[in-house]
């Protein structure tokens, strides 16, 4: 167990390494990204086993949503890093004659990356890719709840990289609190809104900038004009992936009354097709992370009318894919982020009613809308606010590297993935470079008759 003094030593060593300027070399960053890719590829089985032990993740889900996603992100960064890091020329107004202007991306320094347990591998590695690409040193603090993945991450990273460049520090919330009392140049936090507030308050004491990747209740709205079979399939996949423990899983369904029964019938047969008649036996269905979350979720089952699933088993931390009808906004299931395999259903008569319901809640991390009607798609985009949107799908917008991923309002601040990660971990330094060829005297005193000329120049 590391002590506060040892954190301090690691940080001091990272400061020295950063000051050496080594990480500013783009070739060094590419080399480190390649090393990261190599070690992840070599350790794939160990990572998979840890994810299986922590969350019963199938090999397929582990690859799709954790390992493969990280390899894809590394490849993408290696491919684009030179153009991202290149100083960017911008226009210079005539009043600055003779000069040129550019934006220079410089690394921030030492960054702290704190993760959640639900995608415990990628939530550490994806931000790390951005931190390396932008030329920073990093301290990683994985979630203590995904205990096996935390250990694998610590082994992989600490045996591959020098601790004065990147280091994993394992531990619980006390460890996070101790780390937060140190001075960092940026804190990247993924987790709950509650803890996000603590992180931001601690960061404020040292004026450290933060990225907060938080959660919330992601609505999934289904219009009557939709392809019901595909809609059901895409909702079931996004909701029950990782047993519903996904920050952007559809939290609740808002469905047009006219297609509600049809949709629920399709959802039922889709669950059977995916996980069989008894999902507890499916090799593809996950488990709840721990007993505390299992008990929290079981309490939510005492709401409305369970129309699909509901079975549960503490010894295995299993909760069946569950759909609950007849819920109201007063029920507990609608008052907190569910973060588990329970899908409440609320019907609406008119889309504006659904929009008003969504807008009465804090801004969500994602929003899903299923409809063939393009006018209604525009109506949703114009009249709601959320971190991201998938139209006619769920979750998949996170897989587009050119789309920044992050929340808005209560669901977070800042974003990452692809270039957005590079930008998050860079300072955009504005540079004006003046020539000695001429020195226009118009800005110098005495100002007397120069105002007219300045007005003309600045207006044109
Ligand atoms: P959490 O906030 O409980 O924990 C996250 C991290 O904070 C952990 O590393 C933990 O050690 C630390 N922590 C916990 N309590 C703390 C305290 N009092 N002081 C300082 N540090 C503390 O979150 P979680 O349960 O791991 O994750 C679930 C939440 O994360 C959900 O709300 C989910 O929506 C959100 N999430 C968001 C994203 C995203 O990308 N936006 C991704 C995954 C999860």
Digitized pLDDT (tens) for each residue of the chain, 460 residues in all: 677 778 889 999 999 999 999 999 999 999 999 999 999 999 999 999 999 999 999 999 999 999 999 999 999 999 999 999 999 999 999 889 999 999 999 999 999 999 999 999 999 999 999 999 999 999 999 999 999 999 999 999 999 999 999 999 999 999 999 999 999 999 999 999 999 999 999 999 999 999 999 999 999 999 999 999 999 999 999 999 999 999 999 999 999 999 999 999 999 999 999 999 999 999 999 999 999 999 999 999 998 999 999 999 999 999 999 999 999 999 999 999 999 999 999 999 999 999 999 999 999 999 999 999 999 999 999 999 999 999 999 999 999 999 999 999 999 999 999 999 999 999 999 999 999 999 988 899 999 889 998 888 888 7
> If we measure between CA atoms, which residue out of 297, 292, 322 comes closest to residue 308?
322
Ligand 1 centre and the CA of 383: distance in Å?
A: 29
Question: How many angstroms separate the CA atoms of 454 and 451, rounded?
Answer: 5
Query: Which residue ranges form the domains of the chain, and what is each CATH number?
Result: 4-214+411-428 (3.40.605.10), 219-406 (3.40.309.10)
Is 305 marked active-site? no
Q: Is the peptide bond before 330 cis (omega within 30 degrees of 0)?
A: no
- Residue 160, φ and ψ in degrees, nearest 5: -100, -40
Residue 407 Cα: closest atom of ligand 1 = 41
| CA nearest ligand 1 atom 26, residue | 116
Residue 199 Cα: closest atom of ligand 1 = 20
Ligand 1 centre and the CA of 75: distance in Å?
A: 27
Residue 293 Cα: closest atom of ligand 1 = 25
| Tokens at 335, concatenated | 């008052």
Task: Choose one of 69, 115, 116 to mutate for the ligand 1 pocket test, by most ligand atoms within 8 angstroms of C-beta.
Answer: 116
Beta carbons of 54 and 148 less than 8 angstroms apart: yes
Is 247 marked active-site? yes
Ligand 1 centre and the CA of 173: distance in Å?
A: 10
pLDDT value for 373: 98
Ligand 1 centre and the CA of 240: distance in Å?
A: 20
Question: At CA 204, angle to CA 18 and CA 246, rounded to 5?
Answer: 85
Question: How many angstroms separate the CA atoms of 240 and 343, rounded?
Answer: 9
Beta carbons of 343 and 318 less than 8 angstroms apart: no
Question: How many angstroms separate the CA atoms of 124 and 404, rounded?
Answer: 17
- Residue 285, φ and ψ in degrees, nearest 5: -110, 130
Name the active-site residue from 61, 66, 202, 213. Answer: 213
Question: How many angstroms separate the CA atoms of 263 and 188, rounded?
Answer: 39
| Tokens at 410, concatenated | 């209560």
pLDDT value for 95: 86
Name the active-site residue from 247, 270, 337, 347. Answer: 247
> Which residues neighbour 139 within 8 Å (Cβ) at sequence distance 6 or greater?
7, 10, 11, 14, 110, 111, 112, 113, 166, 167, 168, 169, 179, 184
| CA nearest ligand 1 atom 9, residue | 143
User: In terms of DSSP bridges, do strands 412-413 and 210-213 run parallel, antiparallel, or are they unpaired?
Assistant: antiparallel
Question: How many angstroms separate the CA atoms of 113 and 143, rounded?
Answer: 11
Q: Which residues line ligand 1 (CB under 6 A)?
A: 114-118, 123, 141, 143-144, 172-173, 176-177, 190-192, 195, 198, 213-215, 247, 337, 339, 365, 407, 412
DSSP string, 184-197: -SEEEEES-HHHHH
Q: 28: buried, middle or exposed (CB in 10 Å: 19+, 13-18, 0-12)?
A: middle
Ligand 1 centre and the CA of 289: distance in Å?
A: 13
Beta carbons of 185 and 11 less than 8 angstroms apart: no
Residue 337 Cα: closest atom of ligand 1 = 32
Question: What is the H or E stretch that residue 148 is in?
Answer: helix 147-160
Question: What is the H or E stretch that residue 102 is in?
Answer: strand 99-107
Ligand 1 centre and the CA of 375: distance in Å?
A: 37
Question: How many angstroms separate the CA atoms of 338 and 319, rounded?
Answer: 13
User: In terms of DSSP bridges, do strands 186-190 and 412-413 run parallel, antiparallel, or are they unpaired?
Assistant: unpaired
pLDDT value for 1: 62
Question: How many angstroms separate the CA atoms of 170 and 176, rounded?
Answer: 9
- Beta-bridge partners for 433: 100
Residue 195 Cα: closest atom of ligand 1 = 2
Q: The pTM is what?
A: 0.96
Question: How many angstroms separate the CA atoms of 266 and 253, rounded?
Answer: 14
| Tokens at 190, concatenated | 């993924």
Beta carbons of 218 and 248 less than 8 angstroms apart: yes
DSSP string, 5-16: HHHHHHHHHHHH
């Amino acid at each position: 167990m590391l002590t506060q003094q040892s954190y301090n030593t690691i940080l001091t060593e990272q400061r020295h390494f950063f000051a050496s300027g080594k990480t500013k070399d783009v070739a060094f960053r590419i080399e480190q990204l390649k090393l990261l890719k190599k070690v992840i590829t070599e350790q794939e089985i160990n990572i998979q086993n840890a994810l299986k032990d922590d969350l019963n993740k199938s090999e397929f889900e582990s690859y799709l949503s954790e390992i493969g996603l990280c390899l894809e992100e590394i490849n993408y960064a290696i491919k684009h890093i030179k153009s991202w890091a290149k100083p960017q020329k911008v226009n210079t107004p005539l009043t600055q004659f003779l000069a040129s202007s550019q934006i220079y991306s410089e690394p921030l320094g030492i960054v702290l990356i704190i993760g959640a347990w639900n995608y415990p591998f990628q939530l550490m590695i994806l931000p790390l890719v951005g931190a390396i690409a932008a030329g920073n040193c990093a301290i990683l603090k994985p979630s203590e709840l995904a205990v096996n993945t935390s250990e694998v991450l610590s082994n992989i990273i600490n045996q591959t990289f020098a601790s004065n460049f990147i280091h994993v520090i394992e531990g619980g919330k006390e460890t996070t609190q101790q780390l937060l009392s140190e001075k960092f140049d940026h804190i990247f936090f993924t987790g709950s809104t509650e803890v996000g507030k603590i992180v931001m308050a601690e960061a404020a004491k040292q004026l450290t900038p933060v990225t907060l990747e938080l959660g919330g209740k992601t609505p999934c709205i289904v219009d009557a004009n939709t392809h019901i079979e595909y809609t059901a399939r895409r909702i079931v996949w996004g909701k029950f992936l990782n047993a519903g423990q996904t920050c952007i899983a559809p939290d609740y369904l808002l469905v047009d009354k006219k297609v509600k029964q049809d949709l629920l019938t399709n959802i039922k047969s889709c669950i059977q097709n995916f996980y069989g008649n008894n999902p507890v036996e499916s090799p593809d269905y996950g488990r709840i992370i721990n007993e505390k979350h299992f008990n929290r979720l079981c309490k939510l089952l005492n709401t409305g009318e369970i129309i699909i699933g509901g079975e549960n088993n503490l010894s295995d931390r299993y909760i069946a894919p569950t759909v609950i009808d007849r819920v109201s906004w007063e029920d507990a299931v609608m008052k907190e982020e569910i973060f588990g395999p329970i899908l409440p259903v609320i019907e609406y008569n008119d889309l504006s009613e659904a929009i008003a319901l969504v807008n009465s809640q804090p801004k969500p991390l994602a929003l899903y809308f299923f409809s063939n009607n393009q006018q209604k798609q525009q109506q949703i985009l114009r009249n709601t606010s959320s971190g991201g949107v998938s139209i006619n799908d769920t979750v998949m917008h996170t897989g587009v590297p050119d789309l920044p991923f992050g929340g808005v309002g209560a669901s977070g601040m800042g974003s990452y993935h692809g270039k957005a990660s590079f930008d998050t971990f860079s300072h955009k330094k504005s540079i004006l470079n003046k020539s000695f060829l001429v020195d226009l005297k118009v800005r110098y005193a005495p100002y007397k008759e120069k105002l007219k000329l300045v007005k003309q120049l600045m207006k044109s």
